[in-house]
Every structure is written in C-alpha cells, then in structure tokens.
C-alpha cells in the first residue's frame, strides 16, 4: 500500500489503507468477505452494500482508525455554551475526537483551554472497544452500547457529502481485491506495527507504512 508523504491529506485512501491493515492482521475476515462476495455482482455497488460482513468490517476499521481522527469545524457561540454541565467559553473550537470515542473506556476525558481544565465523563460506547469485531455491526448488536459514538463522516448539516460515494468506492475496491487475492503483510512488517506507531493526524489520518503482499488465488 502507498506510503504517505508529509503533505498528503485524503480520506478514502487512508480508509482503504487502514482497512487492509486490519484485514492483514485478521485474515479470517478476508475469507468471510470472500465467501460473501463470491455469489454477487462485484461491480454493483448497491449489491455489495447489502453484504453484512463486508460492511461490518469497513465500519469496524473506521471505528478503530477513522480517516478523520479529530478534525472539527464546530465553534461555540460568542456567549459560550453549557455542554453536559460544563461551561465552554465563547468562540472556542470544539471537537468530539472520533479516535478516542471509538475506543473509550471508563476514565473521564480531560481537555484544557486557556489554562483551564475541563473534565467530561463519557461512558464507553462499545463492549471490548479495543478488539476488532465486525460482527458487532450486524449479528452482535449488544456489543454496541451507544450508536451515536460512530460518526466517521461527521453528523448534522456539515456532515460528509461524499459519504455514499466513498463507501461505494471502498466496497468496490475491497471486493475486487479480496476476490482475486489473498492478502498478508510483507516480510519484516511485524504485523503492521508502523501503521499506528507512525500515524499522523494532519486534518486527515496519515498512516505509517503498510507493505502488503497480494497473492493470486488462482
């Protein structure tokens, strides 16, 4: 997969890199997706959208490593804003960091602004938040405690207009590659350790290097 340069800022491309990183780490999901896509038209994005394990795997990758880790354009009104019992001063840029929310366990989030510390109590939204479990998105809904936590494309009137296009592209590319290839880490990749270790948050996520081998199924 592509190694990013320092100036790069994209969303669909890192989403694919991160998805294939998870697939290489947990190859059983490659085979589950393969079983799903064998019987459908792999060039039909609408047909691919009906496949639960494919969508579950994409969601789970976006939950743990969203392409937009923290970015937000939200600003509090000039008079300030009370959020869950905490007063946020006016004209303050605020964000609900997707990376953190996707993995949260019990302790409070502490944020600081102009030397003042704010503390937010946020319960975990997922059971086993650090584990890669695509089934939580279809056959094991009890592993999601609060659906509102999942917002890789944002929410509200400034949410992503390219969402459906991006998901169609990701499903089409994934189906094509999984159908033709077995996928694993290149030798020396050490289970893809550089992907998260070297990842940067530069408006969008810039994953560390992820070298994979695509081996024909024929």
Interaction with ligand HEM in 141-160: which residues (CB under 6 A)?
A: 152-156, 158-160
Closest approach of Cβ 74 to ligand HEM, in Å? 7
**Can residue 166 be called a binding residue for ligand HEM (CB under 6 A)?**
yes
**Can residue 73 be called a binding residue for ligand HEM (CB under 6 A)?**
yes
Neighbours of 181 (CB within 10 A): 17
**Can residue 75 be called a binding residue for ligand HEM (CB under 6 A)?**
no
**What's the sign of the alpha-carbon dihedral 31, 49, 51, 105?**
positive
Closest approach of Cβ 2 to ligand HEM, in Å? 15
**Can residue 54 be called a binding residue for ligand HEM (CB under 6 A)?**
no
Three-state DSSP at 128 gives coil
Stretch that binds ligand HEM, among 10-18, 26-34, 89-97, 126-134 (CB under 6 A): 10-18
- Nearest Cα neighbor of 144 from 132, 130, 127 is 127
Q: How far apart are CA 207 and CA 18, in angstroms?
A: 7
**Are the beta carbons of 66 and 152 closer than 8 angstroms?**
yes
Neighbours of 66 (CB within 10 A): 25
Interaction with ligand HEM in 172-191: which residues (CB under 6 A)?
A: none
Q: Which of 4, 15, 150, 199 binds ligand HEM (CB under 6 A)?
A: 15
**Can residue 20 be called a binding residue for ligand HEM (CB under 6 A)?**
no
Closest approach of Cβ 164 to ligand HEM, in Å? 9
**Can residue 168 be called a binding residue for ligand HEM (CB under 6 A)?**
no
**Can residue 70 be called a binding residue for ligand HEM (CB under 6 A)?**
no
Toward ligand HEM, which CB reaches closer, 75 or 186? Answer: 75
Closest approach of Cβ 196 to ligand HEM, in Å? 17
**Are the beta carbons of 157 and 163 closer than 8 angstroms?**
no
In angstroms, the Cα distances linking 204 to 11, 145, 214 are 6, 27, 26
Neighbouring residues of 151: CB distance < 8 A, sequence distance ≥ 6: 96, 98, 159
Binding residues for heme: 160
**What's the sign of the alpha-carbon dihedral 184, 190, 196, 198?**
negative
* Chain contacts with ligand HEM (rule: CB under 6 A): 11-12, 15, 67-68, 73, 152-156, 158-162, 165-166
């Amino acid at each position: 997969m592509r190694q990013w340069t320092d100036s790069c800022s994209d969303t669909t491309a890192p989403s694919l890199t991160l998805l294939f990183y998870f697939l290489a780490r947990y190859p059983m999901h490659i085979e589950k997706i393969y079983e799903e896509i064998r019987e459908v038209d792999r060039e039909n994005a609408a047909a691919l959208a009906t496949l639960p394990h494919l969508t579950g795997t994409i969601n789970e990758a976006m939950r743990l490593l969203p392409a937009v880790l923290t970015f937000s354009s939200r600003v509090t009104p000039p008079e300030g804003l009370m959020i869950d019992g905490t007063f946020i001063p006016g004209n303050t840029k605020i964000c609900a960091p997707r990376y953190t929310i996707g993995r949260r366990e019990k302790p409070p989030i502490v944020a600081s602004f102009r030397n003042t510390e704010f503390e937010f109590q946020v319960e975990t939204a997922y059971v086993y938040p650090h584990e890669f479990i695509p089934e939580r998105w279809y056959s094991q809904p009890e592993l999601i405690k609060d659906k509102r936590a999942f917002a890789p494309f944002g929410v509200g009137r400034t949410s992503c207009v390219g969402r459906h296009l991006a998901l169609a592209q990701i499903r089409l590319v994934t189906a094509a590659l999984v159908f033709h290839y077995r996928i694993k880490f290149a030798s020396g990749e050490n289970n893809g350790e550089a992907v998260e270790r070297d990842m940067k948050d530069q408006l969008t996520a810039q994953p560390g290097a992820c070298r994979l081998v695509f081996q024909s199924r024929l």
